[in-house]
Amino acid sequence: MTKQNRDRFDAVDWTDIDGSRRFRFSNNTIGLIATTLPLVALFLYDWRFVGEREATIERLGRDLGLSPAFETLGLDYDPGGIDFAFLFTLSLFVWYLVLPLYQHPRMTRYYWREFKRNRPAVVSLGWLAVVFVGGLLGPLVLNAPQQDVLAGHQPPVFLSIDTANVAQCLGEVQAGRCHGTWEYPLGTTRGGKGVFKTIVYGMTISMQIAFITTTIVAAIGISVGTVSAYAGGWVDELLMRFVDLVLSFPTLLMFLLILYIYGAGLGMFILVFSLFAWGGTARYVRSKSLSVAEETYIDAARLSGASTARIVRRHVVPNTASSIVTQLTLLIPGFLLAEAQLAFLGLGDSELPSWGQLISAGRSDLSFAPWIVLAPGIVLFLTILAFNFLGDALLDALNPEAEAERER
C-alpha cells in the first residue's frame, strides 16, 4: 500500500476533491439527461409545429417519412403536457430509485427481506404493479371509452338488469332481464361508456397524479427542509415561517378560485395541490436533517474542509432519503382521494376518465346499476389502502429505528 493510500482522514484535501468533481456527473444523472433530452425535443416539436387537432406522433412520422411504419406499429399517440411531465417523472423513478436498487444488490436483498415480512404490503405492491402497468400500457392497447347511448346501462358479465332500464340489450334476454356480455365485462354507464375501459384509463390519471405531484412536492420539500436545517439562524427562521404560511393556506379555496378563472383540468389540480402540499414534507425533512447534522461524521467532514454543498449532497440527503421516501409514499393516497372527491362533487374536468368522474356519473343510477359506482369505488379503495400498507412497510424496511421504537 502506498503512502498516499495510507493518508489519514483529517489529511484529505477536500477542496481538491470538490474541485475535481465539481462538473462530474454520476452515471444515473447522465442517463437521466439522455432520457430527458428527447422528451424535451418532442415537447418543443409538439408545441411549435403540431396543431391541437393533429396527433403528435402521427405528424412526426409524416415529417420523417416513416408514416407507413408508424401506421403499422399503431403509433398515433398524441401526448399532452401532463403526459410529458409523467414520462419525465418516470425517468426520475427509473434512474434514481430502480437503478440504484440494481446497483446495490446486497442492500436490495436486505430491504426486500425486511419488506416481505409484511404480507399485506407484498400483496399491496402486487396490486400497485397492476395499476401501474395498466395505467402505462392500457391506453396504448385499448381504445378510449366512447359515448354510445344505445349501449347504456349494460350489466357486467354474470349479472343482469331489467330490460326496461336499457335502450338496447347487447347480451342475452331471459325472463325480461338483460344479461351482461364480454364486450363490456364490467358493464357500461348511462352514456354507454365501458366501465372497464374507463377504469383502465383512470389508472393512468391516478399514476400521473401520484408521480407528478409527488415529484414536485419532493423537489420543493427536500430543498427547503435541507437548506433550513443546515443553514440555521435567520434563514431557518424565515423558511419555517414561510412553511407555516403555506400550511395555513386553504388549498381547496385556492383550487376553487383557479377553477373559476381558468376552468377545470388535471394540470391545475396537480399544480395547486403540489404547490400547497410540500410544507409538511419540508418540516419532516428539516427534522431528519437536523438529527443527521448532529452526527460526528458531519462534524468531521466540516472540520476537514468539505464544502457545505458536498456535505448536504453526499451525507445529509442520502442519510435522510429512506425517511423521505416513506413520507412521500404516505402522501399519495391523499392526492388520489382529493381528486376523487372533487370529481364526485362536480369540481373536476368532466371529460377526464378518472375514477372520481366515473363514481359521480353513476350516483344517480345506483338503485338499478350499482356497478357504475362499485367497480371504480373498489379499485380506488384498494389503491389507497395499498399505498398506506406500502408506506408502513417501507417505514419498517428502510427505517428500522422506527420499528424498534414501536416495539418498546
More confident call, 298 vs 209: 209
C-alpha cell read off for 193: 361508456
CA 190 to chain centre: 30
- Packing angle between helix 56-63 and helix 27-49, nearest 10 degrees? 90
Distance of alpha carbon 269 from alpha carbon 357, whole angstroms: 14
> At residue 22, does pLDDT exceed 80?
no
Arithmetic mean of pLDDT, 377-404: 83
C-alpha cell read off for 36: 430527458
Confidence of residue 217 (pLDDT cuts 50, 70, 90): very high
Q: What is the pLDDT of residue 216?
A: 94
Q: What is the pLDDT of residue 34?
A: 93
- pLDDT tens for 136-195 read 888 888 888 888 888 889 999 989 999 888 988 988 998 889 999 999 999 999 989 999
Beta carbons within 10 angstroms of residue 343's beta carbon = 25
Q: What is the pLDDT of residue 96?
A: 87
Q: What is the pLDDT of residue 7?
A: 47
Arithmetic mean of pLDDT, 198-215: 92
Going from the N-terminus, what domains does the chain have, and what CATH number goes with each?
A: 116-145+194-407 (1.10.3720.10), 154-179 (no CATH)
- pLDDT tens for 84-94 read 899 999 999 99
Beta bridge partners of 173: 178
Q: What is the pLDDT of residue 92?
A: 92
Phi, psi of 261 (to 5 degrees): -85, -50
Q: Which amino acid is at 165?
A: N
Q: From residue 24, how far is each of 17, 55, 307, 321 by CA, in Å? A: 11, 39, 16, 22
Query: In the 8-state DSSP scheme, what is residue 168?
Result: S
> At residue 2, does pLDDT exceed 50?
no
Arithmetic mean of pLDDT, 360-370: 89
Arithmetic mean of pLDDT, 347-364: 86
Confidence of residue 74 (pLDDT cuts 50, 70, 90): low
